[in-house]
């Protein structure tokens, strides 16, 4: 090392020591958050500048005195921080030696940050595989510039393809046009593989992505807290949008952490004019530990609803449960005799007579149960309980106005007018008769009064949420009732619903129960609580003479009795196999064994020097386990994580004849 390099190294160590005096610049494991420092410097933060000014050596290195005023040399500081810091840790020295450098820059420097959207023209390859993976910096969270992407987004070879039904699991000869699909693999690459097949065919896309709270599976470091999340979302949204029908809907579940960023991103991709609703969803109650904490208790999540094309978007009318409407206060005495003979009495009197009592006495006897019993009576007699409502001449047809006038001329007689495709008008003395039966909906087998839904949903969280579908997630699982309402609002029977953050499989399960087709993509491993198990429970299975299927969630509302089928398929892995093994390793010896297999079978980046890796193996062993993992992962060619369809005849891909056949069938090739 020459004197200049030695001096730079000493200055670097002095700088690190000084910057660590600011707690916000230090990670939980005591390492300096280098990119946080760089961003603070760009903002001319006093946290950085004051620390530098306190040290004479650092002040002389990064400031120039102009007429008695110290002027910060930002460019020099950033150049030093963003380059020199990498030259003085073992990981970077080793990375440089084995060739992890492109265009004179280390790979973790090639972020090409742009204003508005950092990494706007890049692809983020999300590599999470475990729900509880929470690191200060996830090692495989790679940003690829466009010039580094060649085959990444090509359609992939399919493997492990099976059809599940109530009869069990079977291999399949071919895909059908109405198949439900459950795809296992990286969701960006799965979307790219589906792009042509589903182009313009999906009526609803619902996603419940990582909320970027720092406590979920995407525990980004501060440097990538927003930029990586936006990149991750953008890459997938751009492909997904192409799959929507012209009258389709995109719905994203999100919380307060990223809703502002998400709206800006969605506005750019879908167009601001296509934002239809921002719905507030109540996800809990003010109970437990929430009561103890000071300040405002947060109970809200949000749904961002965008249309594909505002002019074509036509949502359905959806009703929700409400308390009894006391405007329905009349009772038809002789309903069975025909409307011409109907006689009416106050509802309270009719209810009292049904109990062989008087209204005053019954209220005293029932006490607090009076309203409950009256509501039950109303629902049981829904076709006979009515209210009289005014007919507004401005909002009715000429025929209805004539009926209204005729009714006033015969004030004691009920008149009726049939309406094509709608319920008939019944009118008495110019007043419209409205029936309770037309205001009831059924939820979990119980009938209730209803009203049109608003943009506040406080009624979609059931008591048994954690066990819905027979899979258990203590946090984050969306209730079936929420998905059911979204599908009621935006789809009809037979429509295709896509969810590429499928998680525990709620979207797919609800789609089956309400007779929609689904395509679900999931890349994380949840073991016995994953989407495959959820859908197997939904379809059901024969158990001797009995047939078991999921009866929870919205099964009663949709009259779900089990049945149906879905096709499970995986993207065929190549380099992803090594990624999985690297992530699972717990010690250096395991990683070295993986390295030996990689040398024989893996696809490496073009600039990796395997010989120098072996020559510097002792330096590799001196790195931390996380650095070792990061190094091995970054040596792999990310364009070859999965086997591309175009490469399936290549012998090195080891694609079986059955995989070739089913892949060609899926992509409808000869």
272 contacts: CB under 8 Å, gap ≥ 6: none
605 contacts: CB under 8 Å, gap ≥ 6: 99, 100, 634, 635, 636, 637
pLDDT of residue 219: 38
Which of 214, 459, 444, 430 has the alpha carbon at shortest distance from 323? Answer: 459
Nearest-10 Cα torsion for 210, 212, 218, 219: -160
Tens digit of each residue's pLDDT (9 = 90 or more) over 488-509: 999 999 999 999 999 889 999 9
Structure token pair of residue 261: 């960023």
Tens digit of each residue's pLDDT (9 = 90 or more) over 357-405: 999 999 999 999 999 999 999 999 999 999 999 988 888 888 888 999 9
**Window from 230-244, 437-451, 654-668 with minimum mean pLDDT:** 437-451
Q: Cα–Cα distance between 263 and 266 in angstroms, integer? A: 5
Is the per-residue pLDDT at 136 higher than 50? Answer: no
Tens digit of each residue's pLDDT (9 = 90 or more) over 554-609: 998 899 999 999 999 999 999 999 998 998 999 999 999 999 999 999 999 877 88
Work out the percent of the chain whose per-residue pLDDT is above 90.
55
Confidence band (pLDDT; 50, 70, 90) for 96?
low
pLDDT of residue 134: 41
pLDDT of residue 126: 63
Q: How far is CA 61 from the centre of its chain?
A: 48
Which of 94, 99, 80, 98 has the alpha carbon at shortest distance from 14? Answer: 80
- DSSP class of residue 642 equals B
Structure token pair of residue 108: 């973790």
Is the per-residue pLDDT at 217 higher than 90? Answer: no
Tens digit of each residue's pLDDT (9 = 90 or more) over 118-134: 555 677 766 554 433 44
Element (H, E) at 352: helix 347-354
Higher pLDDT among residues 166 and 110, named by residue: 166
Nearest-10 Cα torsion for 159, 165, 166, 169: -20
pLDDT of residue 648: 92
Confidence band (pLDDT; 50, 70, 90) for 546?
confident
pLDDT of residue 151: 80
3-class secondary structure, 589: helix
| Phi and psi angles of residue 246, each rounded to the nearest 5 degrees, phi first | -60, -30
Residue 597: how many other CB atoms lie within 10 Å: 12
Is the per-residue pLDDT at 142 higher than 70? Answer: no
pLDDT of residue 97: 64
Full-model pTM: 0.75
What's the mean pLDDT when you consider all of the chain?
84
Q: Cα–Cα distance between 258 and 227 in angstroms, integer? A: 11
Of 38-52, 145-159, 203-217, give the range with the top mean pLDDT.
Answer: 38-52
pLDDT of residue 471: 66
Q: Cα–Cα distance between 355 and 349 in angstroms, integer? A: 10
pLDDT of residue 86: 37
Q: Cα–Cα distance between 245 and 498 in angstroms, integer? A: 12
Tens digit of each residue's pLDDT (9 = 90 or more) over 508-521: 999 999 999 999 99
């Amino acid at each position: 090392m020459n004197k200049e390099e030695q001096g730079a190294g000493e200055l670097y160590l002095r700088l690190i020591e000084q910057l660590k005096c600011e707690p916000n610049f230090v990670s939980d494991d005591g390492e300096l958050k280098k990119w946080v420092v760089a961003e603070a410097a760009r903002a001319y933060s006093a946290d950085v500048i004051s620390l530098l000014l306190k040290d004479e050596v650092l002040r002389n290195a990064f400031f120039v005195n102009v007429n008695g005023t110290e002027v910060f040399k930002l460019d020099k500081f950033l150049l030093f921080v963003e380059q020199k810091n990498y030259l003085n840790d073992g990981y970077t020295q080793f990375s440089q030696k084995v060739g992890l450098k492109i265009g004179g820059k280390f790979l973790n420097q090639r972020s090409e940050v742009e204003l508005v959207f950092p990494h706007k023209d890049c692809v983020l390859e999300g590599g999470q595989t475990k729900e509880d993976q929470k690191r200060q910096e996830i090692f495989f969270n790679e940003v690829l510039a466009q010039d580094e992407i060649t085959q990444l987004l090509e359609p992939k070879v399919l493997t492990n393809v099976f059809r599940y039904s109530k009869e069990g699991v079977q291999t399949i000869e071919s895909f059908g046009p109405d198949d439900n699909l459950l795809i296992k693999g990286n969701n960006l690459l799965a979307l790219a593989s589906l792009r042509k097949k589903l182009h313009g065919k999906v009526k609803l896309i619902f996603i419940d992505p990582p909320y970027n709270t720092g406590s979920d599976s995407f525990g980004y470091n501060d440097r990538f807290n927003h930029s990586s999340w936006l990149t991750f979302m953008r890459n997938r949204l751009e492909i997904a949008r192409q799959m929507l029908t012209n009258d389709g809907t995109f719905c994203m579940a999100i919380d307060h952490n990223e809703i502002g960023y998400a709206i800006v991103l969605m506005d750019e991709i879908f167009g601001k004019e296509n934002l239809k609703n921002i719905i507030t969803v109540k996800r809990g109650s003010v109970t437990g530990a929430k009561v103890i904490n000071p300040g405002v208790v947060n109970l809200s999540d949000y749904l961002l609803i965008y249309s594909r094309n505002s002019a074509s978007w036509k949502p359905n009318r959806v009703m929700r449960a409400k308390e009894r409407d006391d405007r329905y206060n009349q009772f038809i005495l002789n309903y069975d005799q025909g409307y011409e003979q109907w006689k009416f009495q106050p509802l309270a009197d009719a209810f009292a007579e049904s109990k062989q009592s008087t209204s005053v006495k019954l209220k005293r006897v029932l006490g607090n149960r009076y309203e409950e019993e009256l509501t039950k009576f109303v629902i049981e007699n829904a076709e006979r309980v009515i209210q009289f409502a005014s007919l507004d001449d401005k909002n009715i047809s000429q025929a209805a106005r004539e009926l209204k006038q005729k009714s006033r001329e015969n004030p004691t007689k009920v008149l009726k007018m049939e309406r094509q495709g709608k319920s008939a008008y019944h009118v008495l003395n110019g007043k419209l008769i409205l029936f309770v039966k037309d205001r009831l909906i059924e939820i979990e087998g119980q009938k209730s009064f209803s009203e049109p839904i608003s943009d506040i949903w406080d009624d979609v969280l059931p008591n048994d949420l954690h066990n819905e579908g027979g899979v258990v997630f203590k946090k984050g699982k969306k209730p079936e009732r929420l998905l059911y309402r979204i599908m009621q609002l935006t789809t009809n029977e037979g429509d295709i619903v896509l969810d590429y953050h499928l998680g525990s499989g709620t979207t797919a399960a609800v789609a089956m129960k309400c007779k929609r087709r689904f395509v679900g993509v999931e890349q994380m491993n949840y073991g016995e609580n994953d989407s495959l198990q959820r859908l197997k429970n939904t379809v059901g299975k024969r158990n001797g003479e009995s047939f078991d299927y999921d009866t929870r969630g919205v099964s009663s509302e949709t009259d779900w009795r089990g049945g149906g089928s879905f096709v499970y398929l995986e993207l065929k892995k190549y380099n992803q196999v090594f990624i999985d093994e690297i992530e699972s390793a717990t010690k250096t010896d395991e990683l070295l064994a993986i390295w030996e297999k990689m040398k024989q079978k893996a696809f490496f980046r073009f600039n990796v020097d395997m010989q120098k890796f072996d020559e510097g193996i002792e330096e590799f062993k001196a790195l931390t386990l996380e650095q070792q993992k990061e190094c091995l992962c970054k040596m792999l060619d990310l364009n070859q994580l999965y086997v591309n369809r175009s490469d399936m005849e290549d012998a090195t891909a080891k694609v079986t004849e059955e995989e070739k056949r089913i892949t060609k069938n899926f992509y409808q090739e000869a």
